[in-house]
Amino acid sequence: MHKADSVPRLFLLISGCYQFIIMQLTAKLVQLLPLQSGTGKNGQWKKQDIIVETDATYPKKVCISVWGDKIETASLQPGSLLKIDFDVESREFNGRWYTDIKAWKIEATGTPAAVGSEKVAGNIGPENNSNDDDLPF
């Protein structure tokens, strides 16, 4: 066996000991919530919560927190498509559990093809043009 042959096997053995799960989401930015900032025991902090919507059969809206220097408001424009790498963390407070989704990397990947084009075939069935009810659907 050559010395060069043992290096990849060693790498595979080491990498086999650890499991890395990368949580990543590609979604359209729907809303920027107000920027929050303050002073804590470690100094100044700032946090930007964003609402994104997945592009799936049943779209989901997700609130994601962006902390500190990862906040780039230039790339955070409503309607833009974002690729977000994130961590999920839960903590207990007074007997209740709270879960945060914290982005650690955000990349703008473009804008959706056409606004509203994803729901072209949404209304199937007879049309009802009367406004007898206040239902939003």
* Residue whose structure tokens are 């809303």: 31
More confident residue, 15 or 80: 80
What is the number of alpha carbons within 13 Å of residue 53 lying toward its C-beta? Answer: 14
Residue 90 is predicted with a pLDDT of 92
Among the ranges given (41-50, 107-116, 121-130), the one the predictor scored with the smallest mean pLDDT:
121-130
More confident residue, 9 or 62: 62
- Domain assignments of the chain as residue spans, ordered by start: 19-113
Q: How far apart are the first and last CA of the chain?
A: 69
Tell me the CATH class for 19-113. Answer: mainly beta
pLDDT digits (tens, 9 = 90+) for 59-106: 999 999 998 877 776 678 889 999 999 989 999 999 999 999 999 899
Contact at 8 Å (CB) between 23 and 85?
yes
Calculate what percentage of the chain has a pLDDT beyond 90.
31
The phi-psi region of residue 27 (left if phi > 0; otherwise alpha if psi is between -120 and 50; otherwise beta) is: beta
Which helix (H) or strand (E) covers residue 32, if one does? strand 23-32
Among the ranges given (13-22, 65-74, 112-121), the one the predictor scored with the smallest mean pLDDT:
112-121
Backbone angles phi, psi at 75, to 5 degrees: -90, -10
**Which of 24, 35, 33 is closest to 105 using CA atoms?**
24
More confident residue, 36 or 131: 36
Residue 71 is predicted with a pLDDT of 75
